[in-house]
Amino acid sequence: MSVVTKKEPANLGRVLKRSLHSMAPLWTLIILFIFFSLASDTFFRIINFRNILIQVSTMAIMSTGVTFVLLTGEIDLSVADVGGLAGVIAAYATATLALPQSVSIILALVITLLLGYFNGFGTARLGIPSFMITLAMMVIAGGLSLYFTRGRVIFKIPDLLKVLGTGSIGPIPIIVIIAAIVLALAHFVLQYTRYGRYVYMTGANREAAELSGVNTRAVIASCLAISGFTAGLSGLMNLGRLGSAQPSVPSDMLINAIAAVVLGGTSLAGGEGGIPNTIIGLLILGILRNGLDQVSTDVYLKTFITGIILVVALFLNIVASRLRHTAEDE
């Protein structure tokens, strides 16, 4: 006599737990958008949305490279200062060395690419923790910026960068288009190429990836090189947007670049996340900072409030991630 068993219905609770991690950043974004739309009469306007996109564009380019690094389970603390150095090199080569604009720009990008690869070589080949070597690179890049500028602002910059940083094609700023292209290319590489699969495999389980024939050292070195290159490109776009090379970078640039990636749901442990997550994190930060400027808030409390909201959002993401892993283990 055969026994007929009924197929068990899907566990709704388990499905919800699994979806929480991917949905938590999106819900954070939606809540912030609704709140500021109701709290301010000037937030929900096309011109303001355009401003938000411009404000996050340079950070988007920098965060693209950070996404690659975090997906491998490493960290890059030098991106802000490397980006600042790229702007200084381009301006110094144009104003002091009188090099052609194109040469100045290419020189800056090549140097930042090499600095990124040096980080990768030290981490992957020499075994230096990425936290330490990129921290040292942060100091080196910042020191070089001070040396080339002598502590002064350089106002003579390549005209091409001014066009890219402040120009528009129709109603769309060029800098937003460049950021979108960088994000799209990175998403394609991570999702539809063998290299992208290797990046995820390296971050998810490095030993298993090596046993599968993946050269994880080369993957890590290349991701840190990519991070250096995108940091340099971001610095050049920022140079064009501001119109001058500064001897130092804003103190919040590094934390913003990393926070945007993590807020979107990319795991610091590696192997989980991607460019769509980074885009959500960028919009969260952009809307939060712009929204606080729109509402009546004590100017001396804005940084504090931003930090509190970011901590809450990160806490919710971590809780959602743990619930998801719990559901997968059930």
179-227 pLDDT tens trace? 999 999 999 999 999 999 999 999 999 999 999 999 999 999 999 999 9
Q: Which residues contact 58 (CB under 8 A, 6 or more apart)?
A: 175, 179, 234, 235, 237, 238, 241
User: Mean pLDDT throughout 223-240?
Assistant: 97
What digits encode the pLDDT tens for the residues 82-95? 999 999 999 999 99
In this predicted structure, what is the pLDDT of residue 319? 72
User: Mean pLDDT throughout 146-157?
Assistant: 94
239 neighbors 261 (Cβ within 8 angstroms): no
Rounded to the nearest 5 degrees, what angle is found at the Cα of 190, between the Cα atoms of 218 and 317? 105
Q: What are phi and psi of 256, to 5 degrees?
A: -65, -45
CA atoms lying within 13 Å on the CB side of residue 221: 13
Fill in the DSSP letter of residue 126.
S
Closest by CA to 84, choosing from 132, 131, 163, 146, is 146
Mean pLDDT lowest for which of 28-32, 214-218, 322-326? 322-326
Residues above pLDDT 70, as percent of the chain: 89
pLDDT greater at residue 171 or residue 296: 171
pLDDT greater at residue 216 or residue 40: 216
84 neighbors 149 (Cβ within 8 angstroms): no
In this predicted structure, what is the pLDDT of residue 5? 47
**Torsion sign (Cα): 170, 184, 179, 95:** negative
- Residue written as tokens 């009469």? 41
In this predicted structure, what is the pLDDT of residue 142? 95
The residue type found at 27 is: W
291 neighbors 36 (Cβ within 8 angstroms): yes
Cα–Cα distance, 227 to 222 (Å, whole number): 9
The whole-model pTM stands at: 0.90
The residue type found at 250 is: P
**pLDDT exceeds 90 at position 257:** yes
Find the helix or strand (DSSP H, E) in which 221 lies.
helix 216-242
User: Mean pLDDT throughout 309-327?
Assistant: 70
First to last CA, the chain: 32
**pLDDT exceeds 60 at position 252:** yes
- Residue written as tokens 């959500």? 280
Number of separate helices (H) and strands (E) present in the chain: 13, 2
In this predicted structure, what is the pLDDT of residue 268? 83
- Quote the strand ranges of the chain, DSSP E: 168-169, 172-173
**pLDDT exceeds 50 at position 9:** no
What is the chain's mean pLDDT, rounded? Answer: 89
Nearest-Å Rg of the Cα atoms of the chain is: 22
In this predicted structure, what is the pLDDT of residue 189? 97
Q: Which tokens sit at 256?
A: 């913003």
Q: Which tokens sit at 115?
A: 């600095």
How crowded is residue 238: how many other Cβ atoms within 10 Å of its Cβ? 26
**pLDDT exceeds 70 at position 248:** yes
